[in-house]
Every structure is written in structure tokens, then in C-alpha cells.
Structure 1
């Protein structure tokens, strides 16, 4: 009997030793696997992890994508590190050379793949929405267009008028896969209102523009000059004209009015266009137009609410992106002769003769 017990004891010790050795070898294998790097393709590998994906299914998903070499060892590593509860669903971009441990850490950090698009200053809504739809977010253009005119959506987003025109802030935006059309447009409006609040905090004494009027004037300032240093002075001219009851007579509003009337955008203004009555035509209609004509940036919003102190009532393009400013009609007419009549007369003459006069 004693011999039997001794034999069993020896077998137990041997079995425990064997189990311990197996466990040690397995742990060493897991540790070695977790630290072994895998070099991914140059463009990286994108993997979408659905909500509710368990550790074993996740390990298989990553192995099938070529991000790790052994799904079972990855599963065991996740269990050993108790990382399962920390792993987050989403779309991930894995790039470069990564160890399985680094892959798990990225999944635990929630550092998902993002998509960006950029909206330049001064674009109209019909120019902005195709940029948004054409981004890698793959949003639906028709849905974007519907939302841009949806009263319920606009009210919820904080747009104080019946169109989103002017309230899609020019900026670079970052979203993750799955962002809806509503979320994207709401974020763009939110950025516009955020910049308005910043400009409003620096509002000049005596400037009493409403939110809608601010965006409307800022959009005109944005379209009138690409020179940041000129915006406060351009704004001053318009404030002076508004205060004195003089029509704004700004060409970008005429172009916008003709687009609304004819459905075609053209920068070529004719005498007939200037005389065509329309709420957006500031040659025929006094005061500000009913709403913005484009999306203004931060500098234009600031200029609208904090114009320069000046006596100017007119400005004329020098045809190089800058302007001549004038406080009187005589000064303005002289500038028109120099920079419009004579400037283009000389250009035509040079074209005919093949050189300067």
C-alpha cells in the first residue's frame, strides 16, 4: 500500500512538473509572440471592428487581415493581459511595423481611423456640399442638400434663417467612419457659431448687427477682398454706407442674385444685371441682402463686428487683389478712371500692339 501511495505521489509530482513546464513554455511563447513585429504594407491595413466583437473573434479578424500571425496566441495574450474589456469597436488603420502588443494597445486606446476634408473661405453652399460628399466619408449629396434647406434641422443647428448658406464654416474637419450627414453639417454650423461668439466678444461699440446680419456682411467682406489687412476697412465702408442710407452696391451680391434668378453662376456682370431688381442685388435694394452669399472665415466675421475707423464710402480694385479707398465721390471717380478705364484701355492697347505703350 505504501508503495502504491508513493508511486501516486511521484506521478503527481511528475504531472505537476510537466504541467508547470507546459505552462511556462506557453507563457514564454505568448510573450515572444506579443513582442514579435509584423511589417504591414506601405499603405497600411484598415480593419473595422464591429460593436460586440469578442476577443476570439477579434483575434481571427486581425489574423485574417494579416496584422498578426497567430489568432490563438493573440487571443491568449488578450486574456492574459485582461485587455478584453478595454478593447473598443471602430475602424482602425494599422501602419508600419507593429507587434501584437502594440496592436492591442491601439485597440484599447480607441485611436480609430479618421477622415478629413477642408473647406476654403468664401465658398457657396453649392460648392461646399460636393466637397463634403466627395470626401472619404462617402456621404450622400442629396441628403446634404435636403438638410441644407430643412427648417427643423436648421433650427436645431442654430441657423437663424431658412438656408444654411454662410453657416458652413471654412475649416479642416476630422470625422470617423459612420459620421452622418446630420452630424457633419451640425459640426460645421457649430464652428461658425463658435467663431461668431469669439468675434462678438470683440464687438465694437455702436455696432448693432444681429447674428444673421453679421454673417451676411461678413460674407460680402469675404467675397470683396482676399487681403486680410483690408477686411476691416472694407467693413468700414459698408458700415458707413449703411449708416448714411447709401446702397451698398457691391458686385458679389449682384452675381449671387443673378445665380438665384438664372440658376447659373457667372462672374461677368452686365449693365442689365445691375438694374435687375432682386433682394440680393444691393444696386437695386437698399441695406443688407436677406442672408449671406458665401461662408465667411474668422477674419471676415471679426471685421464685420469690429470695422476700422474711417470716412471712406467707396473702394476700387487695383486689379491686383488690393483696393483704393475714397471718402468722396470725386476721389472715387478719379480712382475709377485710373484703375478701371485707363488700366484696361492700356491693357487692350498692349494686346493690339504686342507691347507696352
Structure 2
């Protein structure tokens, strides 16, 4: 009787071993086999903080990324992945296997939203770019970027972050607050504006805020890299002589709801940013300058120029005297 029981036990264990082996092979194939091997389209999956693994599994099945929730949970338990899933927004290719899905969710490889800021955007234009990237509402970004308390917390001697939202390509994961986006852009500016540049500003007799303001004007006056230092020299020379800057972009910045048509009335209307009516720099930046314009503001070319006007070659003609400048205006602007 004992021998018979022992034989039954041996057969049972052998069968269990075979079954376990078959199940292990089956699960190994399952782990590597995507539901839709030929599907290139990515599926958006948003996992909220505190969401259970059961809920995540249900979402994956609903979106067609897995077919067998029980097998998926068994695989996750075996890999000790049920408690490692990280919250965030994911883009999962339809051709991804269950094994790779678990790895992506466990490593928190969330989808990053890209926003590219070219040089010379204002706060409001930057806000639109951020909104277009789907990161936050335009009004939310504008509110954060113009918050004096946030500017103070970041060490800016300004009431807003205008001029300090550094032009670059950024990547953010969602959800992200407008304040976090603003802080990231300002920190990038602070990383670029080195201690050497701060020392150079001091040597020139300018504060950092004044250099940023001047750089923003240079940025708006010319997009030609080879002209930036020459344009900078004109403004430095005018400031040194106590002349008004006479910069159209500063006037435009001070016009509410500017329609694209700069008129004589605009030039004659006194505002804090009308450098045809006020001497010196305006109270703050008129845009967010890039590294090249910041460098040009700090290291202007050594020229005697006091004037410039756009010429027919999409660049500028520079003059030393008003007489020469007026001739250039007649030639290039008035077609005389």
C-alpha cells in the first residue's frame, strides 16, 4: 500500500512538474508576444497617482494593448511589478509585448511633451507655444510668468519673468504646473548667464536686468547673427551720449493690442516703452533674448555708429552722422 501511495505521489509530482514547465513556457511566450505585432500606432495611457494595478490592467485591456488580464497580472506578480507602476502619461506602441509594457510602466518612461521657444518671443507668445504643446492653459502660464512673487523667489530684480524665459527646446512630462514650466525656463537662463557675464555687466556699468533689457531690443531689431554686435554698439554709443534709443520694437511692446501697423501717432504717444520720447533703456525687457543677443549686449563691436536703417538686402545700413542716416532712410525706406 505504501509503495502504491509513493508511486501515485511520484506520478503526481511529475505531472505537476510537467504542467509547471508547460505553464512557464506558455507564460514566457505570452510575455514576449504583442497583441498586435504589426500595429505601429501608439496608444495614450494616463495613470493617475494612487491608481491600483487592477485599474491599470483594465485600461490596458480596454485600449487593446493586452488580451488576458489574468495572465498579465500573473506576469506582473512574478516580476514584482504590481507596486512599481509609476503615474504619468504614457504613449505605448500597439506592437509592444506585455513584458515591455511592464518594463516601461515600471521604469516610468512617460511621454515627454516638447515645446520649442525661438529667440525673441514675449511672455504672451511663449504662453501660446506652451498651450499649443498641451502642457497648460495659456492664461495659467501668463499668470505664473507675470507673478511678481514668483519672480522674486527666483532672484529676479523684476516684476515679471519677461526676458528670462530662455529660448530653447524643452521637454516636460504631464501633468506639469505652469509654475514648474516657468521655473525651468528661468533656471535655464540663470545657467547661461554666467558669473563671468555678471562681472562683465558690472564692468560696463549695467545691472543684469539692464543687460537683458538691452539684449531683448537687439534681438527684436535684427535676426542677422553677424549684425548683433554692431547693432549693440549703436545702442551702447547712444546711451553713452545720452541720446534716445529710437527703437521701434520698444514702442510696439508698449502698445496694447498692437495691430501690426506702427504709426506716427504711436511714435508720439508717451509710454514707458517709447524710446522715441524717453531717454535710456525701457523699464524692462521687451522679449526673451537668446544667448547670442545677450553676448552681443555684453560685448558690442567697437564702432562709431549712432544710426542704422533696414536696407534692401534684409540687413541694415549703419551711419555715424544724422546726415548720412537721413540719406540712407531716403534711399532704403522712402525709395528716393
The alignment's TM-score, normalised by the length of structure 2, stands at 0.91
Q: Judge conservation of contact 2:198–2:208 (CA < 8 Å) in 1.
A: no
1:145 has 2:138 as partner:
no
The secondary structure found in structure 2 opposite 1:98 is coil
The secondary structure found in structure 2 opposite 1:117 is strand
> Which residue of the partner structure matches residue 239 of structure 1?
236
1:36 has 2:33 as partner:
yes
> Which residue of the partner structure matches residue 162 of structure 2?
165
> Which residue of the partner structure matches residue 314 of structure 2?
321
> Which residue of the partner structure matches residue 26 of structure 1?
23
Label 1:280 to 1:56 Cα distance change in 2 as closer, same or farther (>3 A).
closer
Q: Structure 1: 5+ residue runs without aligned partners?
A: 346-357
Q: Judge conservation of contact 1:199–1:302 (CA < 8 Å) in 2.
A: no
Aligned residue pair count: 335
Q: Structure 2: 5+ residue runs without aligned partners?
A: none
Aligned-partner Cα distance in 1 for 2:65–2:94: 10
1:73 has 2:61 as partner:
no
**CA-to-partner distance for each residue in 1:47-80, whole Å, 9 max, x for gaps?**
1223345555543432232112222222222222
Match of 2:212 among 198, 210, 215: 215
Q: Judge conservation of contact 1:226–1:321 (CA < 8 Å) in 2.
A: no
Q: Judge conservation of contact 1:199–1:305 (CA < 8 Å) in 2.
A: no
**CA-to-partner distance for each residue in 1:278-323, whole Å, 9 max, x for gaps?**
2211111111000011111111111111111111111111044200
1:185 has 2:182 as partner:
yes
**CA-to-partner distance for each residue in 1:196-246, whole Å, 9 max, x for gaps?**
238827948942321111111011001101111111110111111111111
Match of 2:12 among 11, 15, 35: 15
> Which residue of the partner structure matches residue 281 of structure 1?
274
Match of 1:269 among 262, 267, 291: 262
Q: Judge conservation of contact 1:55–1:84 (CA < 8 Å) in 2.
A: yes
Q: Judge conservation of contact 1:169–1:188 (CA < 8 Å) in 2.
A: yes
The alignment's TM-score, normalised by the length of structure 1, stands at 0.86
Aligned-partner Cα distance in 1 for 2:51–2:142: 35
Match of 2:130 among 110, 132, 144: 132
Aligned-partner Cα distance in 2 for 1:61–1:15: 39
> Which residue of the partner structure matches residue 62 of structure 2?
64
Label 1:334 to 1:182 Cα distance change in 2 as closer, same or farther (>3 A).
same
**Matches for 1:47-62 after TM superposition, within 5 Å:** 47-53=45-51, 55-62=53-60
